Structure 1
């Protein structure tokens, strides 16, 4: 019972760290996606919250500001959905996010309300190139995903919708050869960018090790279609590439800091 309670609490942690991203397009429509927050301190220990999403979600938002769906707890136990502006491009319309050069992953450092900064998931929960082998992850294993299909929330408070599916592809490793994998669940516009994860409660084959806490297996990037027909299959980019993209963010921030320091020294 205790293990089940811990799994539930940690699943709720992932729910709390997942947010809706959107940008009105001026014609009554809006571009919608999903993002999730990672606690990724800088090398000097400075706290930093990193927003993770699919690269195409931000690429399809041409304006300078998008919106991020914060949620505020109220004194009566209810919640209020409070979307706020999120600047995603600078004054010259250049992206403020970092994209992976080969995969549909984007990250950016953001300022989050205190409650969301606390809810951000430790970067250690991101699967690395050995996680699947360590837990013998295989086709048929259950994975969960969080998102906002067609902009729909679980309720008026703006919480994401939880979906469950099974890994539908083989082999899963080595990751460098198989950077994406398939999960058997229906994906809609708005789901892109959501976390795909496994918990100790996930249904698996008998006798295989269960993770002691959830790990984020990857980021959902697209649905599989053939001849404009949805096949009810999602494509997931392995979390190793989230790790790589965060490291690219680290490099960009270090380079910017060195450039600023050099400019100050030259004055």
Structure 2
């Protein structure tokens, strides 16, 4: 008999922060991740962050959560809780060219008690260059459902790695994005992108530190099909495709994610506040 995995490290926690999103009209699958934004002391707004193209052109979306045991509070591996929502229950970034959107889920998690999930605090995206050193080339980790795949037995997502292909903090083509060198498939749309180092990490131009580094730097959106006179020609319809020749993925950066969250909060008269050491 196999033993259930203990959720006792940051990387294990991240496995439970994603949601499988099905677009019924298009017959496509994408990824979303659960974030929480603080609006006051001990008061947070939970949201699913994904791409707007994952959510468009349908009257129904299905959010696939892992089930939770009511007795132990632990995940019930292999048992999914599908939650159907209206296809217009989301808000996109104010700039329609920024492929980021959020779905409010406070009503869902308050009404359905047996959903197992972890949330990502917006604090993981709120840092300065003085606080977190980011080099021109970094190993990145992204988590999601490439081509709709997940562990068929446990129903947990797929974790993949690559490297930053352009500097993360330098807007590629003057836009809120950067490129990654990694195999990005349809279904990975909406996957959170992390700098995830456990043990040692580069903490400055000439220094290496012992410990862990985990920050969220962006969200997978598309893959490059070809290069022309334009900076990027990307495939968004019906979902992202494998970049067969270049193997490059487009990532909207953390600033685009935070701006989308703030646009949602502003619409309802709320404001995100910075809270040190937000807990998931």
Would you say same fold, with TM above 0.5? yes
Mapped contact 1:55–1:99 kept (Cα < 8 A): yes
Is residue 198–residue 212 contact of structure 2 (8 Å, CA) maintained in 1? no
In the TM superposition, residue 244 of structure 1 has moved relative to its aligned partner by 1.0
Q: 1:48 to 1:171 in 2, by over 3 A?
A: closer
Counterparts of residues 59-74 of structure 1 (less than 5 Å):
59=56, 61-63=57-59, 65-73=60-68
Assess, with a 3 A threshold, how the Cα gap between structure 1 residues 41 and 171 changes in structure 2: closer, same or farther: closer
Q: Give the alignment of 1:233-248 within 5 angstroms.
A: 233-248=248-263
Matched, 1:108 2:108: no
Match of 2:15 in 1: 15
> Relative to structure 1, is the Cα distance of residues 155 and 46 closer, same or farther in structure 2, using a 3 angstrom cutoff?
same
Which residue number in structure 2 is paired with residue 223 of structure 1? 223
Q: Distance in 2 between matches of 1:208 and 1:177?
A: 31
Partner of 1:124: 123
Q: Is 1:253 equivalent to 2:268 in the alignment?
A: yes
Shift of 1:78: 5.4
Distance 2:143 2:267 in 1: 29
SS in 1 for 2:269: helix
Of the structure 1 ranges 169-178 and 44-53, higher mean CA displacement relative to structure 2 is found in 169-178
How many corresponding residue pairs? 237
1:1-267 alignment to 2 at 5 Å? Answer: 9-25=9-25, 30-43=27-40, 46-59=43-56, 61-63=57-59, 65-73=60-68, 79-89=77-87, 95-102=88-95, 103-110=98-105, 111-112=108-109, 113=112, 119-128=118-127, 130-131=128-129, 134-170=131-167, 172-173=169-170, 177=174, 179-201=176-198, 207-208=207-208, 212-226=212-226, 229-254=244-269
**Per the alignment, do residues 226 and 195 of structure 1 end up closer, same or farther by CA in structure 2, a change over 3 Å counting?**
same
Change (3 A) 1:107 1:77: closer
Which structure has greater helix proportion? 1
Q: Give the 3 Å change call, closer, same or farther, for CA 207–46 of structure 1 in structure 2.
A: closer
Relative to 1, partners in 2 of residues 1:135 and 1:175: Cα closer, same or farther, differing over 3 Å?
Answer: farther
What's the CA shift string for 1:118-156, capped at 9, x where partnerless?
A: 61111211245x25x643312331010001111000333
Higher strand share: 2
Residues 246 and 77 of structure 1, relative CA distance in 2, 3 Å threshold: closer
Provide the aligned C-alpha RMSD in A.
3.2
Q: Tell me the distance in 2 between the aligned counterparts of 1:24 and 1:202.
A: 42
Q: TM-score, normalised by structure 1?
A: 0.76
Indicate if the aligned counterparts of 2:66 and 2:76 stay in contact, CA closer than 8 A.
no
Structure 1 alignment gaps of length 5 or more: 1-6, 90-94, 256-267
SS in 1 for 2:258: helix
Deviation at 1:24, TM superposition (A): 3.0
Query: Relative to structure 1, is the Cα distance of residues 88 and 115 closer, same or farther in structure 2, using a 3 angstrom cutoff?
Result: same
